[in-house]
Amino acid sequence: MDRLKITLLRSVNNCRKDQVATVHALGLRKIGQSVIQKDNDAIRGMVRKVRHLVVAEPYEGGDDNEVE
């Protein structure tokens, strides 16, 4: 199963409400926090919407219990 590690790099202050909601929907709350998500079109679209705030990289390792 393909997965992505998504890390919040910048603050959501002064961002549009829909971008803040997207970051929260990805499971990110604090700068520097990372989450592991399944790599699918929906998640990639969310990352693309807030690409100026986050970085996404392929994730290999760990067990499937980490996927939200």
pLDDT tens-digit series, residues 20-57? 999 999 999 999 999 999 999 999 999 999 999 999 99
Angle between helices 41-49 and 17-25 (to 10 degrees): 140
Query: What are the extents of the domains in the chain?
Result: 3-59
Please provide the distance, in angstroms rounded to a whole number, between the alpha carbons at the two ends of the chain.
13
Q: Which fold has domain 3-59?
A: Ribosomal Protein L30; Chain: A, (3.30.1390)
Contact 20, 30 (CB under 8 A): no
On the question of pLDDT at 12 being above 60, the answer is: yes
Read off the pTM: 0.87
Distances (CA, A) of 19 to 6, 10, 16, 55, 59: 15, 12, 5, 15, 24
Confidence at 63, pLDDT banded by 50, 70, 90: low
